[in-house]
Amino acid sequence: MKEIMVVGYVEIDGIRTFSDEVMRVVWEQVVADGVSKTVFNTESIKNSDDFVHYMKQPTILPALIIVDEEIAGLGWLANMERNYAFGNYVFFKKWWGRKTLAMGKALIKYWFDFKKGDEHLIDVVIGQTPKNNQKACKFIQKIGLTVVGTIPFMDDGDDMLISYATRKGLNYG
């Protein structure tokens, strides 16, 4: 079985866990896979420099998903409030259908493991998935998210599927 690791893109003692160049390569892969417009607001992220800047914002908590020492995707939490945040992810096309279920579960577990002292920081991860992306809508349910419903016109005129996962509901503590 392939080893899956989730490694935060964070700053430790003034040094990031991954270089800006690595993050630029991640962006270029997202673009090459043809999913940049699906995953990101392309009005604010138009190129690799915009992407690196976005991922360094204090309200964004990104992590790379690594399978057998190869970057296979990216996940990030946004807009963390009290005990919840909005979860986002993108897996590289090469990995679609290959280990994606395990990658998704590893990412959610990583988020639910965030602690300050003995206290968990995240109890709920909220998802927003374009309803017209049926594969993603099915995938989020396979990794344990509960669908609440849809909000019309939220995704450039299309419906947005709203979902959530709880740390206790997924037995992560």
**Burial letters 111-122, b for 16+ CB under 10 A, else e:** bbebeeeeeebb
Where are the domains positioned within the chain? 4-120
Mean pLDDT of 127-155: 91
Cβ proximity of 122 and 84 under 8 Å: yes
Nearest Cα neighbor of 122 from 131, 113, 130 is 113
Question: What is the dihedral angle through the alpha carbons of 171, 134, 128, 60, rounded to the nearest 10 degrees?
Answer: 80
Question: pTM, whole model, 2 decimals?
Answer: 0.90
Retrieve residue 128's tokens: 């927003």
Mean pLDDT of 5-30: 94
d(CA 8, CA 11): 9
Residue 122, pLDDT score: 94
Q: Considering only 24-28, 75-79, 145-149, 157-161, which range has the smallest mean pLDDT?
A: 157-161
Residue 2, pLDDT score: 64
Cβ proximity of 66 and 72 under 8 Å: yes
Residue 97, pLDDT score: 85
- For the chain, the average pLDDT equals 91
Question: In terms of CATH architecture, what is 4-120?
Answer: 3-Layer(aba) Sandwich (3.40)
Residues of the chain with pLDDT > 90, as a percent, come to 73
Whether residue 1 has pLDDT greater than 60: no
* Sign of the torsion formed by the C-alpha atoms of 126, 131, 136 and 137: positive
> In this structure, what DSSP letter does residue 167 have?
T
Whether residue 102 has pLDDT greater than 60: yes
Cβ proximity of 109 and 172 under 8 Å: yes
Residue 43, pLDDT score: 75
* Sign of the torsion formed by the C-alpha atoms of 88, 140, 115 and 11: negative
Residue 172, pLDDT score: 59
Confidence of residue 169 (pLDDT cuts 50, 70, 90): confident
Confidence of residue 104 (pLDDT cuts 50, 70, 90): very high
Residue 168, pLDDT score: 86
Residue 40, pLDDT score: 84
Whether residue 173 has pLDDT greater than 80: no
Q: Does an H or E element contain 57, and which?
A: none
Nearest Cα neighbor of 6 from 81, 104, 80, 83 is 104
Cβ proximity of 85 and 111 under 8 Å: yes
The residue type at 56:
K
